């Protein structure tokens, strides 16, 4: 069932700053967000790909998660962080709402051109599953995952696909076209955020079910999803 209310989107754009400054940025954006807002941060917003300090980065992520759990109330906060599991590291997405972790998934498709497989253990495709908040169905594709057509099936039928990324500026047109195409194919909204580090595109974008780029300062009306699916029935509305 799709909620009829309008959804405010808050995106966080982060440059190459310290761990503490990054956490403060997320906390400030969340505190200033309207009740019920979706707050989306770029991939590894807290630490970046700090391969030389992976243990420190994962320890800070634990600290940040505890701080954010105490802070996030009626907002929906989405971010990824470096976590350590059984002496291996994963790039894990977290969704926080009402002081709880309501969804988590680790990046399953690692960007080999950037050497991610040398530092991270891949997650499972099967963990890319929808989750529902306030009647709106969401899913997450982390950066490079959006290139894989089989993963588009995993998010089929959702109302909003969230794409936290650190996407290379040389291929910026790729992710923009992929997000637009995914919005059209799935007849949904796609929210893209990329950080703006050196060599990384700074992107804060929302695509509507028609594949059009929207301004981020306007709330989205999730009723547009149902309207588009009634207009062109592709059988994407899954219960």
Q: Is the pTM of this model over 0.85?
A: yes
Placement of tokens 């960007």 in the chain: 111
- Please state, rounded to an integer, the average pLDDT across all residues of the chain: 93
Any domain includes 239: no
Does residue 234 register a pLDDT over 80? Answer: no
SS (H, E, C) the chain: CCCCCEECEEECCCCCCCHHHHHHHHHHHHHHCCCCCEEECCCCCCCCCCHHHHHHHHHHHHHHHHHHHHHCCCCEEEEEEEEEECCEEEEEEEEEECCEEEEEEECCCCCHHHCHHHCCCCCCHHHCCCEEECCEEEEECCHHHHHCHHHHHHCCCCCEEEEEECCEHHHHHHHHHHHHHHHHHHCCEEEEEEECCCCECEEEEEECCCCCEECCCCCEECHHHHHHHHHCCCCCCCC
* 90 inside domain: yes
Alpha-carbon distance of 111 to 72, in angstroms, equals: 31
Evaluate whether residue 110 is within a structural domain.
yes
Q: Could you report the per-residue pLDDT of 188-228, keeping only the tens digit for each? A: 999 999 987 778 999 999 999 999 999 877 899 999 999 99
Residue 169, domain member (yes or no): yes
Scanning the structure block, which residue is given the tokens 């802070």?
71
Question: How many structural domains is the chain composed of?
Answer: 1
The pLDDT value recorded for residue 2 is 42
Is there a domain that residue 237 lies in? no
* Mean pLDDT across 108-134: 97
The whole-number pLDDT of residue 148 equals 97
Residue ranges making up the domain that contains 160: 6-231
For residues 66 and 59, is the Cβ–Cβ distance under 8 A?
no
Report which of residues 34 and 107 the model is more confident about.
107
Does 202 reside within a domain? Answer: yes
The enclosing domain of 127 has a CATH number of 3.60.110.10
| Structural domain contains residue 121 | yes
Summarised one tens digit per residue, pLDDT across range 143-153 is: 999 999 999 99
72 assigned to some structural domain: yes
């Amino acid at each position: 069932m799709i909620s009829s209310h309008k959804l405010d989107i808050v995106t966080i754009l982060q440059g190459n700053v310290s761990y503490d400054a990054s956490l403060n940025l997320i906390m400030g954006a969340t505190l200033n967000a309207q009740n019920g807002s979706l707050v989306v941060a770029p991939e590894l917003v807290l630490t970046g790909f700090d391969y030389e300090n992976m243990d420190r980065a994962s320890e800070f992520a634990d600290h940040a998660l505890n701080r954010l759990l105490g802070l996030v109330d009626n907002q929906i906060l989405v971010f990824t962080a470096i976590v350590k599991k059984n002496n291996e590291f994963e790039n894990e997405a977290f969704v926080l709402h009402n002081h709880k972790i309501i969804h988590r998934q680790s990046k399953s498709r690692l960007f080999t051109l950037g050497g991610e497989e040398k530092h991270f253990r891949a997650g499972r495709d099967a963990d890319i599953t929808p989750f529902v908040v306030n009647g709106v169905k969401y899913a997450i594709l982390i950066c490079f995952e959006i290139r894989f057509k089989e993963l588009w099936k995993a998010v089929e039928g959702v109302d909003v696909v969230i794409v936290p990324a650190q996407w290379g500026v040389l291929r910026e047109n790729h992710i923009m076209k992929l997000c637009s195409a995914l919005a059209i194919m799935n007849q949904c909204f796609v929210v893209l955020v990329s950080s703006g580090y050196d060599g990384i595109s700074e992107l804060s974008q929302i695509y509507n079910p028609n594949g059009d780029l929207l301004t981020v300062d306007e709330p989205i009306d999730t009723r547009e999803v149902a309207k588009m699916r009634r207009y062109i029935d592709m059988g994407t509305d899954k219960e």
